[in-house]
Structure 1
Amino acid sequence: MGSDIFGAAMLDYLNNTYKEDIVTRSSISEDDTIPVPYLFRSYAEMPIIEQKALNLSKGKVLDIGCGAGSHSLYLQNKNIDVTALDSSKGAIEACKKRGISKTINAKILEHNSTTYDTLLLLMNGIGIVGELNKLGDYLQHLKSLLNTNGQLLLDSSDIIYMFEEDEDGGYWIPPGKDYYGEVDYEMQYKNEKSDTFPWLYLDYNTLQRAAILNGFNCELIVEGEHYDYLAKLTVAKQ
């Protein structure tokens, strides 16, 4: 993403120099903000989807795209063996400052040194895939990180509600995109801007089809209040 927007904001918050939030600009909506304190929320402040995922976590856990480490910290305090992974150097520094004992500063596709019982991809963590045509490669890599009887817990949203339906029941898809859930983002914090980067929102049916094609079983665990959901993927028996 270019500048480490999230990392800089998280460290400012921990160093008590936080004064403004992260601004997001996307290809499908007006400017929005991500309140930095929300990245440090407690379990009680998390939506039901995240709480459910944490309650289902078991064994050796990898928290992918951990951010400020709120999920990892909760699991660690429950004496669960959790490792926080993020490509943001600042995010990992923030996790360490918060007392998370196991951290990895890397992109998920670069991490292949060990396997886990639970993989977490929360706060629309599957968005890191960026484009639908890359989903299979990511799912295959994630499958390689799972122990026998392991699970992948991920949440996402169906953003079809953001598009207008035409008279024939179809939807307009932005030019240059193969799927309506492919969104381009840019972020700004203080005077620093990120490069434009792709992010993927997946409707459940599309996720389920991709999961089956890549050797997973896919189960809808819970639906949220705004077109979002939590899914569990497990490796299908041969």
Structure 2
Amino acid sequence: MTSAANAWDLFGAALLAYQEGDRDATLEVHVDGGPTEPLPAATFFRAAPEFEAWEQAALEACRGRVLDLGAGAGCHALALQERGHEVVAVDVSAGAVAVMTRRGVRDARRGTLAEVGDGPFDTLLLLMHGAGIGGDLPGLTALLSQCRRLLAHGGALLIDSADPSGRVQHDDAPPDDDAPPDDVRPGHAPTAPDDVTLDAQAPAWRGDVGVASMRLAWDGDLGPAFPWIYLSARALESLARTAGLDCGVLWRGDGGRYLARLTSQ
């Protein structure tokens, strides 16, 4: 297996292969210290009736003009267009943008959040473990601040992640006995206690924050490693406060998964 220059080039290549008829196109996700997991390209081509409960909740919460960041093959952007929303769909992968355009996304752009210059937006979407786009704690903190600047008055950022204590158990990361209960009311986040430690130099996995080192593989090429952050809802609430955002949980599911709604303070 050879090394590729850009992980997201491989992602886009897999999406293009599926778009062009390879229904078995599947990426491999290599996690440092963990198993290699398949990621079928078909995941990014689902129609609205195939969406999971958290995705349905996110679409229902969208208002007005929407920015879909890390839009992939455009499944959420297309569903929102059908609902009458103006959608700007952004991805760093040229292949992903090409696929979105072919599928009918009206405004598909290649780039990063920092390169989107025509805000504000009523809703920002960071979905499918969207918090991971931030990479690590400093990166996610900066990303949330950028999102706040692009939000219109009364706008919201919809973002999902998974509590690391619900995903993995490492010897140096004991169970998080203070994890928020599963019956948190929709729209209400648990209050972050004083002992939540958000230390960018902390070990890779703690009770509230985990950073995985991942590599994507496609068609014999293995991409470079990149960080992907997971964090509990209370850790996200703490980071959101530093960015001037309030945080409420809209949905919780198995494996520590949750969907949050962040709004300007």
Q: TM-score, normalised by structure 2?
A: 0.82
Distance 1:24 1:234, change over 3 A: same
Distance 1:166 1:56, change over 3 A: same
What is the distance in 2 between the residues matched to 1:144 and 1:88?
A: 24
Shift of 1:65: 0.3
Shift of 1:135: 2.4
What is the distance in 1 between the residues matched to 2:253 and 2:71?
A: 21
2:125 counterpart letter in structure 1: L
Asked if structure 1 preserves the Cα contact closer than 8 Å seen for 2:123 and 2:157, the reply is: yes
Shift of 1:224: 1.6
1:154-188 CA distance string (max 9 Å, x none): 010012231146797679xx986375510110010
Asked if structure 2 preserves the Cα contact closer than 8 Å seen for 1:117 and 1:149, the reply is: yes
Aligned partner of 1:22 in structure 2 is: 27
Aligned partner of 2:250 in structure 1 is: 221
| RMSD, aligned CA | 2.2
Determine whether 1:81 maps to 2:86.
Answer: yes
What is the distance in 2 between the residues matched to 1:231 and 1:170?
A: 20
What is the distance in 2 between the residues matched to 1:187 and 1:78?
A: 33
What is the distance in 2 between the residues matched to 1:233 and 1:19?
A: 37
The 5-angstrom pairing of residues 102-121 of structure 1 reads 102-121=107-126
Aligned partner of 2:219 in structure 1 is: 190
Partner of 1:123, secondary structure, is: coil
The 5-angstrom pairing of residues 1-238 of structure 1 reads 2-3=6-7, 4-161=9-166, 162-164=168-170, 177=204, 180-236=209-265
1:158 counterpart letter in structure 2: D
- Range 108-117 or range 158-167, more displaced: 158-167
1:28-68 CA distance string (max 9 Å, x none): 42110101111111122211111100111110000010000
- Number of residue pairs aligned between Structure 1 and Structure 2: 234
1:104-163 CA distance string (max 9 Å, x none): 100113323321000000001110111112222111111010010010000100122311
- Range 85-94 or range 33-42, more displaced: 33-42
Shift of 1:225: 2.3
Shift of 1:223: 0.3
1:156 counterpart letter in structure 2: S
Partner of 1:163, secondary structure, is: coil
What is the distance in 1 between the residues matched to 2:173 and 2:66?
A: 47
2:242 counterpart letter in structure 1: L
- Range 11-20 or range 30-39, more displaced: 11-20
1:222 counterpart letter in structure 2: W
1:214 counterpart letter in structure 2: A
Distance 1:113 1:10, change over 3 A: same
- Range 110-119 or range 149-158, more displaced: 110-119
Q: State percent identity of aligned pairs.
A: 32
What is the distance in 2 between the residues matched to 1:14 and 1:167?
A: 41
Gaps of 5+ in 1: none
2:232 counterpart letter in structure 1: D
